[in-house]
């Protein structure tokens, strides 16, 4: 029952010997599936020869046994799962992107959004570049390729590109002999690396992907850091470090998997802390606390723990319907909610319920969920959001591109409660959001809540030149 989406997840492996790196990438992408459900792709490097396959769909649908076998063996591979924010969906926008240039070939996968993508793309087009996609990633690939033609190495080219890119980017780049990982100077989205017992280096958006393939996490890349993995080991370049750190706090609230650890801090514990903060602020007389699967569960448990109100499993989620499930027509949207979530009536009937969800964007989905509880016999439903109210668009990779569809921009808290059919409504206090991980509250981006952007804002008209705004996007309608 997701309401918003993050753009994607990236993965890379550099193995000391030729092996089945495609299968390793497959299992890692499976672990990162929550970061993108529109398309998936893998590129395998076997002694400088690139084999690539990507398509729309979930990882296990795209990569059949035959598709994996065709990728063959190699010692380097990168992979990607995508949900489109900049750029529409479609196979042509799937990643990784493979580029053949004057000095060889390169493959690239990217997580995030650039704020100067329009300017860079316009410049490239004026020089004769022809684009085949509507993504920021193709812009990045062109910039790196231009730098590569006049530089001595691929890592020098990536560093040169980083001088020009503005906004959010966590990159994995593959050349015939190297794997490169790079993170923007603000560190908007996580990127970590680790090692396996066989000596393979692993890079991934989240530590859960390393766990899935038996690798041990070494650490996060620092904001602005680039790491190069070769047969001789790894080396780091921190020439772009030192900027204002601005990790997207929504990684902890919603995007990341609860079993991931980001910068040494447990996502699960951060969400529980959000629930505890809600319990401090909203003292509700209720019989049970219920979380909306999946990312509302940890916060609900934290609320129950702090408030003393019993925690209950209120919903059974159909795990066999992915986010790509499409209802047959507008009138069937409520049926879609019922198919994906069913209320455990024995836990709800005749009880006052505290309902905890990760966020409220348009209010439509949570309104349907409140109705499910009412229909199951709940006498009261008090809705709590483990995120503050969304008041601003995000330019760094989360699918909120305008204020037009944000319910909190048009209504008071009391009005929203009435619209969704709840007896009361509460949001996580803004002053608490940066304290979720036990630190001093610094180093996070909270612009979607408070409008304090770490970078310049792109012009609205420019942002939508190559894509439809969210209000015209059928994937978002009704949420």
Q: Cα(169)–Cα(108) distance, rounded to whole angstroms?
A: 12
Q: Using alpha carbons, select from 242, 104, 108, 98 the residue that is nearest to residue 180.
A: 108
Residues 6+ apart with CB under 8 A from 39: 54, 55, 56, 57, 62, 81, 82, 89, 91, 93, 94, 95
Residue 266: CB atoms within 10 Å: 17
The owner of tokens 């319910």 is 407
Cα–Cα distance between 451 and 443 in angstroms, integer? 15
Question: Active-site positions?
Answer: 8
Q: Look up residue 305 and give its two tokens.
A: 């723990």
| CA–CA dist 251, 189 (Å, integer) | 7
Which residues fall within 8 angstroms of residue 452, CB to CB, at 6 or more apart?
A: 446
Do the beta carbons of residue 344 and residue 316 sit within 8 Å?
Answer: yes
Which residues in 152-175 are b (16+ Cβ under 10 Å) and which e? Answer: eebbebbbbbbebbbbbbbbbbbb
* Contacts with 317 (C-beta within 8 Å, 6 or more apart), sequence order: 293, 294, 340, 341
């Amino acid at each position: 029952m997701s309401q918003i989406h993050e753009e994607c997840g990236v993965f890379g492996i550099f193995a000391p010997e030729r092996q089945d790196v495609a299968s390793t990438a497959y299992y890692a992408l499976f672990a990162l599936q929550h970061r993108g459900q529109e398309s998936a792709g893998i590129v395998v490097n076997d002694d400088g020869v690139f084999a690539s396959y990507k398509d729309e769909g979930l990882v296990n649908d795209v990569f059949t046994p035959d598709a994996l076998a065709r990728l063959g063996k190699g010692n380097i591979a990168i992979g990607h799962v995508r949900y489109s924010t900049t750029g529409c969906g479609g196979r042509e926008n799937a990643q990784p992107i493979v580029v053949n240039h004057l000095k060889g070939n390169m493959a690239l996968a990217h997580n995030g959004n650039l704020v100067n993508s329009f300017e860079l793309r316009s410049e490239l087009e004026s020089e004769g570049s022809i684009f085949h996609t509507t993504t920021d990633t193709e812009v990045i690939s062109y910039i790196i390729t231009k730098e590569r033609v006049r530089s001595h190495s691929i890592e020098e080219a990536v560093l040169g590109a980083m001088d020009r890119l503005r906004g959010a980017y966590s990159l994995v780049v593959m050349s015939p002999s190297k794997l490169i990982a790079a993170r923007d100077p603000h560190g908007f989205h996580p990127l970590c690396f680790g090692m396996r017992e066989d000596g393979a280096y692993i890079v991934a958006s989240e530590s859960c992907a390393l766990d899935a393939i038996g690798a041990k996490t070494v650490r996060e890349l620092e904001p602005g850091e680039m790491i190069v993995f070769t047969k001789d080991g790894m080396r780091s370049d921190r020439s772009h470090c030192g900027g204002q750190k601005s990790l997207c706090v929504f990684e902890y609230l919603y995007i990341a998997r609860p079993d991931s650890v980001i910068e040494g801090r447990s996502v699960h514990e951060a969400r529980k802390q959000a629930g505890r903060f809600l319990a401090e602020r909203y003292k509700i007389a209720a019989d049970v606390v219920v979380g909306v699967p999946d990312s509302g569960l940890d916060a609900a448990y934290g609320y129950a723990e702090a408030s003393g109100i019993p925690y209950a499993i209120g919903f059974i989620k159909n795990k066999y319907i992915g986010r790509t499930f499409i209802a047959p027509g507008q009138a069937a949207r409520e049926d879609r909610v019922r198919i994906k979530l069913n209320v455990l009536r024995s836990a709800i009937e005749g009880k006052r319920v505290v309902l905890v969800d990760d966020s409220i964007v348009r209010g439509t989905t949570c309104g349907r969920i409140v109705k499910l509880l009412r229909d199951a016999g709940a006498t009261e439903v008090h809705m709590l959001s483990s995120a503050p109210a969304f008041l601003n668009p995000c330019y760094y990779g989360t699918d909120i591109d305008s204020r037009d569809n944000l319910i909190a921009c048009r209504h008071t808290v009391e009005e929203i409660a009435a619209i969704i059919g709840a007896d009361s409504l509460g949001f996580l206090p803004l002053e608490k959001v940066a304290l979720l991980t036990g630190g001093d509250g610094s180093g996070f981006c909270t612009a979607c809540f408070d409008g304090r952007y770490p970078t310049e804002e792109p012009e609205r008209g420019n942002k939508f030149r190559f894509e439809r705004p969210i209000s015209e996007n059928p994937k978002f309608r009704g949420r």
